[in-house]
């Protein structure tokens, strides 16, 4: 650590220290008095109390963290055993869980079966199936059928539990809060576009992929004469129905809408794609019984490892829920979260945990910073997870000040919750959890409530400073301490 020369020379005690160091340096000088053969040990300035950093962030929130050295010893901690909402840092645990239970090479298979004159599109829980892949599947099915008529077209999503919304407290119109089943298409979302015209706005709904964008007929949109909310959902109709506020929408725009009936959505899109290939199918219907019949076409997802890398980079909530449910085989989110919590304890990771889901969208999930850090520090976890995490995860929010940090990690954000966990400089493993529980509860379901953007930015800057501090402290072997010793320090 650099020492200001003016301060150094201005203190008598520092001058005395210099006089004591000088003879030792001269004693190690090479013949002829040219230069010392060895350098004197650098003077390490004590790190300031971490409470100074936290106070400067002006969060008025609980700030909990744990930083572990490569050998597992605690470098620094503060309220490290306090269970807090993990938000999307929970996806790191979900990734480890899925890799352990399913294997890194696992692929989800979407099948098309023929049972007599009934065609069945059977979802396999593939969280990344898109309209482009469905186009290939429709082409193969059209060729296999060779003009043979189809009396019924059934879509089955029973490979995973049926979940109406993956996080019910969240607003209906948010694309990261769709329905979930074993039949997933385009992350169960549909793209709404609107453009102004002489006779009023032109609206379209498409199942947008990279190369194709078929119209989605299973979802409807209409303009409503109101100022707010921008979008409203009517869940009582057979066809999904949305309205958009005329006085708020502007001349043009677009919005990803969540899909609430995924089987009918996928069946509708498949019907359109098959028709383009010459295969006419009847209107899709939802199948509830496990399908039977001969497989005539199929599509395999990328390997699980690749799916999880994208999940961790883009924080895809639907992917986290799908792979977590597939790993547990449980009947619902609550049972699946409990199964993952039991698995974590079975790995020898102590601590109080409660998982209400796999994505961290639920504010009811809980984990402590120390438990999360220890989960990531396990040798098998580090081997499987570190290379899947995003480099410089804070750079998206903080820009250049967070680049080149040497951090690979996962952020997690809810209203007035901001977290970071991963691997940092000096080989440290860390978790920083920050939450204002009162404001989180008061803004449940709100999209960007007042004050949350500034609060979150300040929290991320605090995270950056803490991780830098952990890296500096990890080089000081005298800084390692037991958890009991650190918790006893009134400065945190």
Tens digits of residue pLDDT in 95-137 = 999 999 999 999 999 999 999 999 999 999 999 999 999 999 9
Same domain, 229 and 361: no
Q: What is the mean pLDDT of residues 340-361?
A: 95
Confidence (pLDDT) at 199: 73
Same domain, 262 and 353: no
Confidence (pLDDT) at 446: 87
User: Per-residue confidence at 22, pLDDT binned at 50, 70, 90?
Assistant: very low
Going edge to edge, which strands form the sheet with 202-206? 202-206, 189-195, 252-258
Confidence (pLDDT) at 45: 55
User: Per-residue confidence at 484, pLDDT binned at 50, 70, 90?
Assistant: very low
Half-sphere exposure of 14 (CA within 13 A, CB side): 11
For position 322, which CATH number holds? 3.40.710.10
Q: What is the mean pLDDT of residues 436-464?
A: 95
Same domain, 381 and 343: yes
- Cβ atoms of 429 and 68 closer than 8 Å: yes
User: Rounded to an integer, what distance in angstroms lies between the CA atom of residue 213 and that of residue 190?
Assistant: 10
Question: How many C-beta atoms lie closer than 10 Å to residue 186's C-beta?
Answer: 26
Q: Would you say residue 230 has pLDDT above 50?
A: yes
Same domain, 376 and 238: no
The pTM score is 0.86
Question: b/e string for 62-75 if b means 16 or more Cβ within 10 A?
Answer: bbbbbbbbeeeebb
Same domain, 295 and 313: no
User: Per-residue confidence at 201, pLDDT binned at 50, 70, 90?
Assistant: confident
Same domain, 21 and 56: no
Same domain, 292 and 439: no
Half-sphere exposure of 154 (CA within 13 A, CB side): 21
Same domain, 398 and 443: yes
pLDDT higher for 187 or 146? 187
| Domain end marker among 259, 275, 300 | 300
Q: How many domains does the chain contain in total?
A: 3
User: Rounded to an integer, what distance in angstroms lies between the CA atom of residue 257 and that of residue 246?
Assistant: 17
pLDDT in tens, 404-441: 999 999 999 999 999 999 999 889 999 999 999 999 99
Q: Would you say residue 87 has pLDDT above 90?
A: yes
- Cβ atoms of 325 and 367 closer than 8 Å: no
Domain coverage including residue 11: 1-41
Confidence (pLDDT) at 237: 67
| Domain end marker among 258, 279, 300 | 300
| Domain end marker among 274, 300, 326 | 300
- Residue 29 backbone dihedrals phi, psi, to 5 degrees: -80, 145
Same domain, 28 and 72: no
Share of the chain above pLDDT 90, in %: 76
Same domain, 228 and 99: no
Same domain, 216 and 352: no
User: Rounded to an integer, what distance in angstroms lies between the CA atom of residue 227 and that of residue 196?
Assistant: 17
Question: How many C-beta atoms lie closer than 10 Å to residue 125's C-beta?
Answer: 22
Same domain, 475 and 391: yes
* DSSP-assigned states of every residue in 158-206: TTS--BS-SSTTS-TT-TTS--B-S--SGGGEEEEEEE--TTS-EEEEE
User: Rounded to an integer, what distance in angstroms lies between the CA atom of residue 234 and that of residue 54?
Assistant: 45
């Amino acid at each position: 650590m650099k020492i200001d020369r003016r301060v150094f020379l201005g203190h008598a005690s520092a001058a005395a220290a210099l006089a004591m160091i000088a003879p030792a340096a001269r004693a190690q000088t090479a013949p002829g008095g040219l230069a010392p053969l060895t350098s004197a040990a650098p003077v390490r300035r004590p790190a300031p109390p971490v409470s100074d950093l936290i106070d400067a962030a002006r969060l008025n929130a609980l700030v909990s963290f744990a930083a572990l050295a490569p050998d597992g010893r605690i470098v620094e901690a503060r309220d490290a055993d306090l269970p807090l909402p993990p938000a999307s840092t929970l996806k790191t645990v979900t990734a480890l869980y899925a890799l352990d239970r399913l294997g890194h090479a696992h692929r989800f298979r979407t099948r098309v079966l023929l049972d007599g004159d009934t065609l069945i599109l059977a979802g396999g829980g593939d969280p990344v199936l898109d309209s482009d892949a469905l186009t290939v599947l429709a082409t193969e099915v059209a060729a296999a059928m060779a003009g043979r008529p189809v009396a019924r077209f059934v879509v089955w999503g029973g490979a995973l539990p049926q979940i109406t919304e993956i996080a019910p407290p969240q607003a209906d119109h948010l694309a990261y809060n769709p329905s979930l089943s074993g039949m997933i298409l385009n992350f169960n979302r549909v793209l709404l576009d609107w453009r102004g015209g002489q006779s009023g706005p032109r609206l379209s709904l498409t199942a947008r992929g990279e190369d194709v964008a078929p119209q989605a007929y299973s979802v409807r949109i209409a303009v409503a004469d109101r100022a707010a909310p921008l979008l409203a959902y009517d869940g009582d109709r057979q066809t999904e129905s949305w309205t958009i506020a005329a006085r708020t929408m502007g001349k043009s725009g677009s919005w990803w809408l969540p899909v609430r009936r995924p089987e009918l959505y996928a069946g509708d899109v498949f019907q359109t794609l098959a028709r383009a290939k010459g295969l006419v199918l009847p209107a899709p219907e939802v199948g509830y019984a496990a399908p039977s019949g001969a497989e005539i076409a199929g599509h395999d997802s990328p390997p699980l490892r690749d799916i999880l890398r994208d999940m961790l980079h883009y924080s895809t909530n639907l992917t986290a829920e799908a792979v977590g449910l597939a790993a547990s085989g449980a009947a619902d989110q609550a049972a699946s979260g409990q199964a993952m919590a039991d698995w974590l304890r079975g790995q020898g990771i102590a601590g109080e945990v409660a998982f209400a889901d796999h994505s961290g969208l639920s504010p009811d999930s809980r984990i402590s910073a120390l438990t999360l850090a220890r989960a990531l520090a396990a040798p098998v976890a580090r081997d499987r997870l570190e290379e899947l995490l995003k480099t410089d995860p804070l750079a998206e929010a903080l820009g250049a000040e967070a680049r080149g940090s040497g951090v690979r990690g996962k952020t997690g954000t809810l209203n007035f919750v901001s977290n970071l966990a991963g691997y940092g400089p000096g080989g440290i493993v860390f978790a920083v959890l920050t939450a204002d529980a009162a404001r989180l509860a008061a803004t449940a379901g709100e999209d960007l409530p007042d004050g949350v953007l500034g609060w979150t930015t300040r929290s991320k800057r605090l995270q950056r400073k803490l991780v830098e501090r952990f890296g500096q402290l990890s080089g000081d072997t005298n800084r390692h301490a037991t958890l009991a010793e650190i918790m006893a320090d009134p400065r945190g």
